[in-house]
A and B are shown apart, each in its own frame.
Chain A
Amino acid sequence: MKENDKSFIIFDDVTFSYGDPENNSSEELDGTSGNSSGDSFASTFDGSSYSERPKEAVKNVSFTVDKGEFVAVIGSNGSGKSTVAKLMNGLLLPQSGTVISAGYNTANEDTIWEVRRLVGMVFQNPDNQIISTSVEEDVAFGPENIGVPRDDMIKRVDEAMKVCGVMDLRKCEPHLLSGGQKQRVSIAGILAMRPSCILLDESTAMLDPKGRKSVLETVKKLNKEEHITIVLITHHMDEIIEADKVIVMDKGSVVKTGKPSEIFSDKKLLSDLSLELPPAASVFDSVDEFDFGETVLSPSRGTEVLLNLYKRSIS
Chain B
Amino acid sequence: MKVSLGRYVPAKSLFHLADPRTKIIWTIVMMVFVLMCRNWIEYTIAGVFIVGCFIASRISFKFILQSLRPILVILIITSLFNFLFYHGAHVAFFIGSKPIYFESISMSIKTVLRVTMLVVSASLLTYTSTPVAITDGLESLMRPLTVLHVPVHEIALMMSIALRFIPTFADETDKIIKAQAARGAEFDSGNVFKKIKSYIPVLIPLFIAAFRSAEEMSTAMEARCYRGGKGRTRYKVLKFSASDVIITVLTVIFFTSIILLHIYIRKDISVSHIFINNF
The residues of A with any CB-CB pair to B shorter than 8 Å are 29-30, 33, 86, 89, 91, 113, 116-117, 120-121, 123, 125, 127-134, 136-137, 140-150, 153-154, 157, 173-176, 189-190, 193
Contacts and interface: CB of A to CB of B under 8 A. Distances in A.
B226 interface: yes
Contacts of B215: 29-30, 33
Contact of A175 (B168, B217, B222): B168
Contacts of B213: 125, 127-128
Contacts of A86: 219
B223 interface: yes
A132 B157 CA distance: 9
B223 to A, nearest CB: 4
Contacts of B47: none
B160 A91 contact: no
B215 to A, nearest CB: 7
Interface of B: 2-3, 5, 132, 160-161, 163-164, 167-168, 171, 208, 211-213, 215-217, 219-227, 231-237
| Dominant SS among interface residues on chain A | helix
A130 B216 CA distance: 11
B216 A123 contact: yes
Given A128-B216, A131-B217, A150 B237 contact: yes
Given A128-B217, A137-B235, A144-B234, A175 B171 contact: yes
A121 B226 CA distance: 13
A29 B237 CA distance: 39
Contacts of B224: 116, 120, 131, 141-142, 145, 189-190, 193
Contacts of B235: 136-137, 140, 143-144, 150, 153-154, 157
A173 B223 contact: no
Given A154-B235, A193-B225, A123 B220 contact: yes
Nearest to A116: B225
B210 to A, nearest CB: 11
A130 B217 CA distance: 8
A29 B168 CA distance: 20
A158 to B, nearest CB: 11
A146 B225 contact: yes
B225 A132 contact: no
A310 B208 CA distance: 59
Contact of B167 (A120, A121, A134, A175): A175
B61 to A, nearest CB: 28
Given A89-B223, A143-B233, A146-B225, A33 B216 contact: yes
Contacts of B171: 175
A190 B2 CA distance: 28
B206 to A, nearest CB: 14
Contacts of A146: 225
A174 B220 contact: no
Contacts of B232: 144-145, 147
A127 B164 CA distance: 10
Most chain B CB inside 10 Å of its own CB: which residue of A123, A129, A175 = A175
Contact of A113 (B160, B216, B227, B234): B227
13 contacts: A121-B220, A128-B212, A129-B216, A131-B224, A133-B132, A140-B235, A143-B235, A149-B233, A150-B237, A153-B233, A154-B235, A189-B224, A193-B224
Given A29-B212, A130-B164, 17 more contacts: A30-B215, A33-B215, A116-B223, A120-B224, A123-B219, A128-B216, A132-B160, A134-B132, A137-B235, A137-B236, A142-B224, A143-B233, A144-B233, A145-B225, A147-B233, A153-B233, A193-B225
A91 B226 CA distance: 12
Contacts of A149: 233
Nearest to A152: B233
A170 to B, nearest CB: 11
B219 A113 contact: no
A308 to B, nearest CB: 46
A102 B147 CA distance: 38
B190 to A, nearest CB: 31
Contacts of A173: 5, 167
A177 to B, nearest CB: 11
B164 A131 contact: yes
